[in-house]
Amino acid sequence: MTANGSRTCRFCRTPLRHTFVDLGMSPLCESYLRPDQLNEMEPFYPLHVFVCEKCFLVQLEEYVNPDHIFTEYAYFSSYAESWLEHCRKYTDQMVERFALNRQSVVTEIASNDGYLLQYFVKKEIPVLGIEPASNVAKVAGEKGVPTLVRFFGQRVASELAREGRLADLLVGNNVLAQVPDLCDFVAGMKILLKPGGVFTMEFPHLLQLMEGNQFDTIYHEHFSYFSFLAAEEIFNAYGLTLFDVEELSTHGGSLRIFGRHAEDSSKPVSPRVVGLKAKEGAYGLSQLECYLSFGEKVRRTKRELLQCLIRAKNAGKTIAGYGAPGKGNTLLNYCGVGRDFLDYTVDRNPYKHGRFTPGMHIPIYPPDKIRETRPDYLLILPWNLKSEIMQQMAFIREWGGQFIVPIPEATICS
Ligand SMILES: [Zn+2]
């Protein structure tokens, strides 16, 4: 926000006048409630996403102080096995491709509990983590990953540069979307990257969000949603060139971008960059109209999901949820799906048992509850894991139970 109260683009400062999608008011999607909190006031914030007409950065205003989000960040990356495997493979690839060795420095921004850097440590490559949440940084330290407890930006980068601690490989996974001051962050990367060094970043791909109608992956902690085209423009502005890109299946579809100093001509721009830009262009990502049509697609999905749930309830059926992921909370709150539709939901994470989903206050139980109550329908909230969940829960067919998958459009799977 500027001094006169108008919103401007986080990157290019153009006034924001165009809505990408307005999901109404929503609570923070990771604020699960204990029973004694159910009658207390619960903060709701707008989930109104804008698109910049000049640089096409899709963005949410920063309503929630990042100190609040990050310093007590409860999520430890290391919990997911498949994600660790992803990181181990990444380490092997980077060490080989960029010939990293004991003289190199690998620095990760938002290094969490050392989930990634631990694999470089095993190869005896010097590492440095930068992580604002002190409780997770402490765990990293115990794993032998030295970690600086700071928010990353130009100030930290300049301090490290003065100490001669420039990065040969600078990594940032799923952090770019969560940076309130994008310009300070990218300027810091320019400072910290060694001449001849490489940076890689992973973030959810806006093209996948739009194509797959994944509006439930929008939440308050994610301020920016990037196409490759928008990311390239931002890095270019700070003297950094994106020379390669990979499309990954993580988080519903992510990009891994590879960057270098603009003046480093030793790494030519890959045909994959050209190909992806052409693909984004063909989808319409360099035209405002394409972004403006997304909101109606989302509203239609809401109506279809509600139609499906109303039909089931009118027929006297029972519905339970499967999973209590953050994205499920965006979906339930936006669609207004409360206990009038879902009797309860289940989750494998013991932290959530006995708690209630934010906003809609749906009780969360261990998965055994499904077998006890035999619901007619199971609404799968982590739709990205639907095949795995339908396999695990195949036994609901014993009593004629069926699955409802809400995204990209409400579908019943028997
Ligand atoms: Zn802009």
Tell me, in angstroms, the distance from the centre of ligand 1 to residue 364's CA: 40
What is the pLDDT averaged over residues 85-103? 96
Q: Tell me, in angstroms, the distance from the centre of ligand 1 to residue 16's CA.
A: 8
What is the whole-number distance in angstroms between the Cα of residue 371 and the centre of ligand 1? 51
Between 385 and 406, name the one with better pLDDT: 406
Ligand 1 centre distance from Cα of residue 101 (Å): 39
Distance, CA 185 to ligand 1 centroid (Å)? 16
CA of 57 to the centre of ligand 1 (A): 6
From the CA of 224, how far away is ligand 1's center (Å)? 11
User: Residue 20 C-alpha to ligand 1 middle, in angstroms?
Assistant: 13
Q: Is the pTM of this model over 0.95?
A: no
Give the residue among 114, 105, 238, 94 at the shortest CA–CA distance from 166. 105
CA of 95 to the centre of ligand 1 (A): 35
Give per-residue pLDDT as tens, 216-254: 999 898 999 999 999 999 999 999 999 999 999 887 799
Ligand 1 centroid to residue 242 C-alpha, Å:
19
How confident is the model at residue 3, as a pLDDT? Answer: 47
| pLDDT at 135 (0 to 100) | 86
Residue 106, pLDDT score? 98
pLDDT of residue 30: 84
pLDDT tens for residues 341-382?
A: 999 999 988 889 999 999 999 999 999 999 999 999 999 999
CA of 273 to the centre of ligand 1 (A): 21
Cα(328) to centroid(ligand 1), Å: 29
**Ligand 1 geometric centre to CA of 198 (Å):** 26
Output the CA 176–ligand 1 centroid distance in Å.
15
CA 8 / ligand 1 centre spacing (Å): 8
246-294 tens-digit pLDDT: 999 887 799 999 999 999 999 999 999 999 999 999 999 999 999 999 9
Please give the residue that has the higher pLDDT: either 31 or 378. 378
CA–centroid distance, residue 243 to ligand 1 (Å)? 22
Residue 248 CA to ligand 1 centre (angstroms)? 26
Q: How far is the CA of 278 from the centre of ligand 1 (A)?
A: 21
pLDDT exceeds cutoff 60 at 74: no
Distance 1 CA to ligand 1 centre (A): 13
Ion ligand 1, residues whose Cβ is below 5 A away: 9, 11-12, 14, 52, 54-55, 57
Over the stretch 168-215, which tens digit does the pLDDT of each residue have?
A: 999 999 899 999 899 999 999 999 999 999 999 999 999 999 999 999
CA of 56 to the centre of ligand 1 (A): 6
- Cα–Cα distance between 346 and 219 in angstroms, integer? 21
CA of 60 to the centre of ligand 1 (A): 12
How far is 186 from 25, CA to CA, in rounded Å? 30
Question: What is the whole-number distance in angstroms between the Cα of residue 10 and the centre of ligand 1?
Answer: 7
